[in-house]
Amino acid sequence: MPTACCPHCLLPISEDAAAGYPFQPIRCPSCRLAVAPGRAKLGGDTPSQAVGSGAAAGVLKNAARRADDAATTPQEVADALMFAAGKLATSVLRLRMLDYEYLTRAHTELPTVGTVLATHGSWKRARREVDDAQRAATAD
Ligand SMILES: [Zn+2]
């Protein structure tokens, strides 16, 4: 089923939407703006495929920075990113922030994108450091 994303903020609303979604006006859970029937952006199996990851990632990053979440340990981030990469059948280095954010809605025990950014400074750096640690751990 295609992912439906908000036409305003581009963040995902539902991951199993049918054509014409939403069927009644709803409020986007991320930006709180109204989404009229049939106005959600549909497509792809993951949020980043549905809207193209560039614009939505920028929106998400700004929202995450505004949320001002506290940092956690690199180990917790590593566990979370490896779990997410496994769930999404990708590698940590290819894990998209948008898809990770969507996963945290179903897995609320995972650190938020804001927490990952606060811990590592950027999504790219978080991915690289987790990948490096993974390689070091499997080297011997
Ligand atoms: Zn929205």
**59 in any annotated domain:** no
Give the mean pLDDT of the chain: 86
- CA-wise closest residue to 114 among 10, 104, 15: 104
Residue 47 pLDDT more than 80?
no
**30 in any annotated domain:** yes
Question: Is the Cα torsion angle 69, 55, 48, 86 positive or negative in sign?
Answer: negative
74 and 130 both lie in a single domain: yes
Q: How many angstroms separate the alpha carbon of residue 137 from the centre of ligand 1?
A: 40
Residue 57 burial by CB count (10 A; 0-12/13-18/19+): exposed, middle or buried?
buried
Specify the pLDDT at position 110: 95
Q: Is the pLDDT higher at 61 or at 40? A: 40
Q: How many domains does the chain contain in total?
A: 2
State the average pLDDT over residues 2-19: 84
State the average pLDDT over residues 36-65: 75
Residue 136 pLDDT more than 70?
yes
95 and 134 both lie in a single domain: yes
85 and 127 both lie in a single domain: yes
Write out the residue range of the structural domain in which residue 102 sits. Answer: 68-139
128 and 78 both lie in a single domain: yes
Specify the pLDDT at position 46: 67
**62 in any annotated domain:** no
- CA-wise closest residue to 98 among 68, 128, 40, 58: 58
Question: How far does the chain reach from its first CA to its final CA, in angstroms?
Answer: 42
**61 in any annotated domain:** no
Q: Which residues pair with 5 in a beta bridge?
A: 12, 41
Q: How many angstroms separate the alpha carbon of residue 107 from the centre of ligand 1?
A: 20
Residue 131 pLDDT more than 90?
yes
Q: What is the pLDDT of residues 79-121, one digit of tens each?
A: 999 999 999 999 999 999 988 988 888 899 999 999 999 999 9
**122 in any annotated domain:** yes
Q: How many angstroms separate the alpha carbon of residue 21 from the centre of ligand 1?
A: 14
Least confident residue range of 7-11, 18-22, 103-107: 7-11
Separation between Cα atoms, residue 18 and residue 63, nearest integer Å: 27
75 and 132 both lie in a single domain: yes
| Band (56; pLDDT cuts 50, 70, 90) | confident
Specify the pLDDT at position 42: 83
**57 in any annotated domain:** no
**34 in any annotated domain:** yes
Q: Which two tokens stand for residue 31?
A: 């930006």
Residue 52 pLDDT more than 70?
no
Q: How many angstroms separate the alpha carbon of residue 20 from the centre of ligand 1?
A: 17
State the average pLDDT over residues 45-64: 70
CB 6 within 8 A of CB 15: no
